Amino acid sequence: MTRTARLSILLAAVLLLGAVGTGSVLYAAHRSGMKDQQQANGPTVRAGTVSLRPTAGRRLLVRNLAWGPHRDEIATVPADDPEGPRTASGVKCLRFHAAAGTGVCLQAVHGALQDTYRAVVLDAHLRERHRFPAAGIPTRARVSPSGRMVAWTVFVSGDSYAGTNFSTRTAVVDTRTWAIDDNLETFHIVKDGRTYRAADTNVWGVTFADDNRFYATLATGGRTYLVRGDVTARTLTTLHRNVECPSLSPDGTRVAYKKRVKGASPDAPWRLYVLNLHTMKETPTAESRDIDDQALWADDDTLVYALPGDYGSDLWTVPADGTGTARRLMTSAVAPAYLG
Partner 1 sequence: MYLADSRSTGSRGTEAAVVPDTRPGRRPAAVPPTVLALGAVSLITDVSSEMVAAVLPLYVVTALGLSPLGFGLLDGINNGVGALVRLAGGHLADRGGRRHKVVAGLGYGLSAVCKPLLLLAHTLPVISAVLAVDRTGKGLRTAPRDAMISLSTEPEHRGRAFGVHRAMDTTGALLGPLVAFAVLRATVDGYDAVFAVSGCVAALGVLVLLLFVPRRVTLADADADAERRPERPPALRDSLALLRRPDLRRLTVCATLLGLTTVSDSFLYLLLQREGNLPAHLFPLLPLGTAAVFLLLAVPLGALADRVDRRRLFLAGHGVLLLGYGVVLSPRHGVPAVIAVLVLHGTFYAATDGVLAAATAGTVPARHQGAGQALVGTAQALARFACSLAFGAAWSLWGERTALAVTAAALAVSAVVASFLLRTADEVSA
Q: Which of the residues 183 through 222 are near partner 1 (CB under 8 A)?
A: 183, 197-200, 202, 219
CB 63 within 8 A of CB 293: no
CB of residue 54 to partner 1, shortest distance in Å: 31
Burial class (CB in 10 A: 0-12, 13-18, 19+), 156: middle
DSSP E strand boundaries for 211-309: 213-220, 223-230, 235-241, 244-248, 254-260, 270-276, 282-284, 296-297, 302-309
CB of residue 279 to partner 1, shortest distance in Å: 29
When binding is defined by CB under 8 A, the residue of 182, 211, 230, 299 that contacts partner 1 is 182
CB 338 within 8 A of CB 298: yes
Amino acid at position 270, single letter: W
Cα(304)–Cα(49) distance, integer angstroms: 25
> Applying CB under 8 A, which part among 15-23, 74-82, 142-150, 322-330 lies near partner 1?
15-23
Cα(261)–Cα(256) distance, integer angstroms: 15
Cα(225)–Cα(249) distance, integer angstroms: 18
When binding is defined by CB under 8 A, the residue of 77, 306, 318, 329 that contacts partner 1 is 306
> Applying CB under 8 A, which part among 43-51, 160-168, 232-240, 296-304 lies near partner 1?
160-168
CB of residue 64 to partner 1, shortest distance in Å: 15
- Using the minimum distance from each CB to partner 1, give the nearer residue, 17 or 280: 17
> Applying CB under 8 A, which part among 6-14, 208-216, 274-282, 296-304 lies near partner 1?
6-14
Distance from the Cα of residue 255 to its chain's centroid:
17
Q: Is 34 in the site for partner 1 (CB under 8 A)?
A: no
Cα(71)–Cα(325) distance, integer angstroms: 30
CA distances from residue 90 to 24, 122, 229, 271, 276 in whole angstroms, order as listed:
30, 13, 35, 34, 39
Convert residues 72-111 into a mask of x (bound to partner 1 by CB under 8 A) and - (unbound).
----------------------x-------------x-x-
- Using the minimum distance from each CB to partner 1, give the nearer residue, 164 or 279: 164
Q: Is 161 in the site for partner 1 (CB under 8 A)?
A: yes
Q: Could you write out the DSSP letters of every residue in 59-79?
A: EEEEEE-SSSTTTTEEEEEET
| Residues near partner 1, by CB under 8 A | 1, 6, 9-10, 13-14, 17-18, 20-21, 24-25, 27-29, 31-32, 35, 94, 108, 110, 112-117, 133-139, 155-166, 168-169, 182-183, 197-200, 202, 219, 266-268, 292-293, 306, 308, 312-313, 334
